[in-house]
Amino acid sequence: MRCPLCGNVEDKVIETRTLAEGGAVRRRRECSGCGYRFTSYEKVEDKPFMVIKHDGRREPFDRDKIERGLDRAIRKRPIPMLAIERIANEVVDETYRAGSLARELSSAAIGEIVLEKLSKLDRVAYIRYASVCRRFENLDEFVEEIRKLETVGSEPPTKLARG
């Protein structure tokens, strides 16, 4: 640590105290060159989890966006809010696990995690979400996605998933 008075880089720590419930450390120091005493603070710099958008931009991960997207997908569907809360929690957990090393994940990968959860819950909500997530541009894309959904499993989602 550089002395603010003389610029010397050698000092000794006289006292250390933990602040902010362990989130920061306060150190009293004494310069070895001039004897000046000063205080330094250390804090862990937490890198936020980032989402890589389709156009390459990066923005901080926002759980509220997941919940808003799910809310739009299930609008006027017989799905309890508790199920949406559970899915949102699962999506957040899986997103952080999938991007844990780089602390980032593409929005497309996050969308696929959401779609996997919705496919087990409600097919209409799945198609609604897929149309936005995968950017459907025409009716053929809707039809193709519905066909894929039919081949994955002909059984409708269980009543247990609905609440």
Say what the pLDDT of residue 152 is.
Answer: 63
Question: Per-residue pLDDT tens for 119-162?
Answer: 889 888 988 888 887 777 888 887 887 788 777 654 444 433 33
* Joined tokens for residue 31: 């310069």
Share of the chain above pLDDT 70, in %: 92
Query: In 3-state terms, what secondary structure has residue 154?
Result: coil
Give the phi and the psi of residue 104 in degrees, each rounded to 5: -155, 155
50-73 burial: b if 16+ Cβ within 10 Å, else e: bbbeeeeeeeebeeeebbebbeeb
The Cβ of residue 82 has, within 10 Å, a number of other Cβ atoms equal to: 9
Phi–psi pair at 70, nearest 5 degrees: -65, -40
Q: Measure the CA–CA gap between 112 and 99, rounded to whole angstroms.
A: 14
- Write down the pTM of the prediction: 0.63
